[in-house]
């Protein structure tokens, strides 16, 4: 029986599918009374596995998670975390392409290729221009405020997400002083490198010192 350290964004059902077991067996092996609630940092015993297995991919989150929504310090983000099914580079929906274009226009209208420190404003402006509603909050709050009937959280790496246009990316913290407090958010362009907010970031993959990564896909 192997041990797995729970990461933020994990759900018991997703882990059961990943390790080819069942929610019931995982809950039984770990004495979990509520299968809808697991906490990051805890060790999860995986029945039927050896002592080791491959670690989670880069981009997997840390923090407490709940199937009905991720919980961090009592703040509920809402929404079930799903796999990347339906979010492929060649399968972007019209809504996703519309958001990517609106994001690019918002970035060019604000900072161009230079950050103004207003990433959430750029993303909110793009969402409003694309879909007609505004999302409030700073970079590490906007994920909590995305309406779950219009966006769903998906589980994929940054490298995968950047190949798909019109995804909303959020980080809880970045390396800058403001980023430590307010985080960062952006919209993917789909070129595999860049993202847009209040400016166009040419190489998002090369931006280090960011943590608490999440991805959200429009389902409008």
How many domains are contained in the chain? Answer: 2
Give the end of a domain, one of 47, 76, 105.
76
Q: Which two tokens stand for residue 39?
A: 């906490």
- Domain extent at residue 117: 89-218
My answer on whether 67 and 161 are in the same domain is no
Q: What is the pLDDT of residue 89?
A: 60
Q: How far is CA 99 from CA 40, 103, 205, in A?
A: 32, 6, 20
Cα radius of gyration rounded to whole Å, the chain: 18
pLDDT in tens, 87-120: 566 678 999 999 999 999 999 999 999 998 999 9
Q: Which two tokens stand for residue 202?
A: 């040419």
Give the end of a domain, one of 26, 47, 76.
76
My answer on whether 72 and 99 are in the same domain is no
My answer on whether 184 and 103 are in the same domain is yes
pLDDT at residue 72 is higher than 60:
no
CA pseudo-torsion sign 105, 110, 111, 112: positive
Q: How far is CA 146 from CA 139, 152, 161, in A?
A: 12, 9, 18
Nearest CA to 170 among 149, 146, 199?
A: 146
My answer on whether 64 and 33 are in the same domain is yes
157 inside domain: yes
Q: Which two tokens stand for residue 213?
A: 């990564």
81 inside domain: no
My answer on whether 138 and 95 are in the same domain is yes
99 inside domain: yes
My answer on whether 6 and 72 are in the same domain is yes
Mean pLDDT of 120-139: 94
pLDDT at residue 3 is higher than 50:
yes
**Entry pTM:** 0.63
My answer on whether 48 and 100 are in the same domain is no
Mean pLDDT of 31-45: 82
Mean pLDDT of 13-28: 84
């Amino acid at each position: 029986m192997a041990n797995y350290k729970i990461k933020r964004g994990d759900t018991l059902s997703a882990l059961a599918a990943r390790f080819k077991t069942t929610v019931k067996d995982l809950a039984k092996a770990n004495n979990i009374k509520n299968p809808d609630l697991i906490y990051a940092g805890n060790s999860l015993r995986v029945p039927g596995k050896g002592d080791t297995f491959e670690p989670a991919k880069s981009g997997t989150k840390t923090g407490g998670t709940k199937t009905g929504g991720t919980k961090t310090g009592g703040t509920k983000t809402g929404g079930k975390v799903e796999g990347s099914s339906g979010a492929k580079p060649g399968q972007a929906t019209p809504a996703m392409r519309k958001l990517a274009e609106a994001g690019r226009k918002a970035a060019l209208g604000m900072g161009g290729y230079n950050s103004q420190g207003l990433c959430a404003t750029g993303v909110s402006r793009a969402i409003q221009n694309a879909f007609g509603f505004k999302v409030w909050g700073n970079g590490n709050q906007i994920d909590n405020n995305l309406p779950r009937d219009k966006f769903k959280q998906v589980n994929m790496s940054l490298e995968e997400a950047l190949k798909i246009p019109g995804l909303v990316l959020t980080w809880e913290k970045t390396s800058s002083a403001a980023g430590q407090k307010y985080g960062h958010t952006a919209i993917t362009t789909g070129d595999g490198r860049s993202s847009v907010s209040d400016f166009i970031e040419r190489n998002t993959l090369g931006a280090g010192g960011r943590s608490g990564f999440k991805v959200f896909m429009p389902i409008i």
